[in-house]
Structure 1
Amino acid sequence: MLILLLAACGGQGGGTRTANATVGTWNYGGQNVGIALVLWTVLPEPTHPDGFVINVTGPNNLSWSAGPNRSSVVGPAFWWWRNSSLIPSSGEYRIAASLPGNPNFSRTLQVDATATLPQPQGVTLQATTNTATISWQAVSGAQSYYVELWQLDNNNNLSALRFSWYTTATQVQFTQAAQITLPPGNYRARVFAANVDFTKFGNLDQAAQLDPQFKLSSALSSSAIQVQSTGTLRVLELPHQGPEPDAGTSD
C-alpha cells in the first residue's frame, strides 16, 4: 500500500466541491491487475492527531480500508494507494470516509476491471559524473507521472526511497550537489502513470478530475545507477526480474 500526501495553503470557493475520491485498476505487470484508490480534499483543519480512514467496498465482498491518514497542513491535499493483493472485479464500488469538514463523504461508481493504463515503456536511467536522468515513453491515456528513485539492497531489491517527483513530462533529472547527495550503493527507478494530473492536486477545484474511475500503471527501470564512495555515478545493467508490485512501499 502506498500513501502520498500533498498539501498547500488555500481557502474554499463558494459552491465548489471540496472532496472526491475514485477507485480503479493498477497495472503493474502481474498476472492480474491490482486495485488503486485516490482521494482529493480541501482540509479546513489539520487531521492530526487521529487522522481518518477511507473505506472501499465492491463486488465479490471486496473490502479495503486505508489509514489512518494524517496531515498537519490546511488546504488542498491528496492521498493515493495501491494494493496488489486485491483483484478488482467489474461492478459497483462504494467509497466512504469521515473527512475534516466533510464527515459523511461517500460516493458510488461503476468500475470496469478490464480498463487499464498501459505500463510505462522504455524506463531508462542514464548517468554522467554527478547527474542521473530517468526517462520513459509517454503512456497513452496518462495525465501525469510519479517517479521514484530507490536504493537497492544487496539482492537488488527496492530498499529505501531516496527521491520522488510528480511530473507531466517524460523525464526527470537528479544532480548531486553539496547538500544533495546519494549514499554509496545501487539505485533503480520506478515510474507510475495515472489518468489524473497529480501536479494539479495542490490547487482548489480539482474534484472533477476524480469523477471517472482511477487507472494506474507502473514499471521499473531495466538498469540501475551506482554511486561509488567518491560520489561518481555510473550505469549498471540488471538481470530481468518479474513484477515487484508491493516491494519497497512507504507511508
Structure 2
Amino acid sequence: MRQIVLDTETTGINPKLGNRVIEIGCVELVERKLTGNNFHVYLNPDRDSEEGALAVHGLTTEFLSDKPRFHEIAGQLRDYVQGAEVIIHNAPFDLGFLNHEFRLANLPPFDECIGGVIDTLVNAKELRPGKRNSLDALCDFYGISNAHRKLHGALLDAELLADVYLAMTRGQNSLGMDIEEETSSGGVVLEQVALAEIFVLRASSEELQAHEELLNGLDKAVKGTCIWRTPIS
C-alpha cells in the first residue's frame, strides 16, 4: 500500500478570504516503510501572510517572492499523490486549501486524484478522548522527539506526523499480520488478513517425561487428578 503523509502551510486560515498555500510537504510510505521519496515545495502566494499565520510558520513575503506559483507545480503534485491514501492531521483544513488551489488552476479537485484520506486528528480523538491531540502533544505521548521544531514547517511536520501515524497504528500490525485491501465487484473495500507463519517447537522425550513426573506429583498431592490433566473444552 502506498500512503502519503501530507502537510501544508498557508497565509491564513480561510481560503475563501483569499488565503493561499505557501508550502507543501509530503512523505511517502510504502507498506508502512519510509521510502525517502518525498515532495517539498515553497510557493509564492502573491500576497502577504496574516500576522497570526506568519508567527506560526515564519515564511516571509520576501522569502517566497522568487518561488513558483501553485499552478506551476499543480501537475507535479497531482502525479505524485495519484491514487495514494493520504494521511493528514486535521484533514478538512489542508484538503479545503488544496481543493481551492486546484480549482484556481482550472483542475479537478485535489481529493479526486487520491485514493482516500486518513485524518490522524480524528483517530487520535478516538484513542485519547478528552486529551490534547495536537501534533506536539502526540509526539510527546508517543516519545517522538520534536525538539528541533521551533516553527511549523510542512515537510518537518509531515515527517513527524509519519512517525506519529506509525506509532499510533502499530498495534494494527501486531502478530505480524499483513493487511491487504481488495475491492469487490460492488465497489466495497474488503480487508483480507493473512496471519504470519507460526513456528512450533515440540518438547523432547526427556522434557515430556519430566512433565509427566511433575503431574504425577501434583496428582498425589491433591489425592486425585490435578487440574492440569483436565481436557480443555
TM-score tier by shorter-chain length is under 0.3
Using structure 1 for the length normalisation, give the TM-score: 0.22
Structure ranking higher in strand proportion: 1
Identify which of structures 1 and 2 has the higher relative contact order when contacts are C-alpha pairs closer than 8 Å and 6+ apart: 1
The higher radius of gyration belongs to 2
